[in-house]
Amino acid sequence: MGGQFNCPDGTAGGDNFFCFLPNPNLKPEVGKNKEAGLNLKYDNIFGANDSFRGKFNVYRSDLEDYIEITAFGTQIAGLYPFYQYQNIQKAHIQGFEAETMYDAGAWFTGMSGSIIRGYNDVTNVGLASIPGDKITTTGGVRSADRKATIGATVVVVKENMNVPTTYRPSTAYELVNLFFNYQPVEDVVLGFGVDNLLNRYYRPYAIPTTQGSDPGATQNDVLWTSPPPGLVLKGSLRVHFAHMK
């Protein structure tokens, strides 16, 4: 592949599959946002001290000069030689978000989700930066003295296939996360968590493909992105000094 074309800085673009060009003429994005939401709050539903909270929101952003990385140039052996951040004249992003939580004191459960769509209004092709539809389920229990909490979240995300042909779609994925908190005194909280318990590989966003019609080109992950971490163990200590005696 080496030496098939040269980048402006003199390097051989063929050795790196593409040339990334700066864009000194890039304009700032301008957006007009519209949003409507509904908040629900109920207490003492099935018993003393239980509660339900819900948030629902719809929105739309109409954008001018939306910034997105763009492939261009005459293909060489199926490769686009140049990539650059460029302005899209007109685009829009719209979506729906919801979040619910029921708390019975000794236990709690909830669900949240989001649906986002984004389009280039000139070509009617989807925007590459839009994440997939997402649902998160959370549940947990508390000790009798309410000092200890243990729980888990399950995240399910659908791949976004509506992206330009020069992009490789994001991956669908499922994540399991665990968390544990202990509050020995009022102003001290100990925390421990496990993210991505099953050590899943995933890519939450689309990435440019550098092999034209081959969206499965294996070098793309190396060139454009590092996947999020696998299994992660976390620990924390939070101290609120203002109330300590």
User: pLDDT band at residue 224, thresholds of 50, 70 and 90?
Assistant: low
Compute the Cα dihedral for 217, 219, 220, 225 and give only its sign.
Answer: positive
Q: Are 174 and 150 in contact (CB under 8 A)?
A: no
What percent of the chain stands above pLDDT 90?
A: 64
Q: Indicate the SS3 state at residue 224.
A: helix
Q: Indicate the SS3 state at residue 48.
A: coil
Spatial distance between the Cα atoms of 165 and 78, rounded to a whole number of angstroms: 12
Which of 111, 176, 103, 177 has its CA nearest to residue 141? 103
| Structure confidence at residue 3 (pLDDT) | 45
In the chain, the domains with their CATH numbers are 13-243 (2.40.170.20)
Higher confidence at residue 215 or residue 106? 106
Tens digits of residue pLDDT in 176-210: 999 999 999 988 999 999 999 999 999 888 887 75
Alpha helices in the chain (DSSP H): 13-16, 220-224
Tens digits of residue pLDDT in 62-98: 999 999 988 887 777 666 778 889 999 999 999 999 9
Write down the pTM of the prediction: 0.82
Q: What is the mean pLDDT of residues 31-45?
A: 97
Distances (CA, A) of 34 to 31, 40, 60, 92: 10, 21, 5, 11
The answer to whether residue 50 scores a pLDDT higher than 60 is: yes
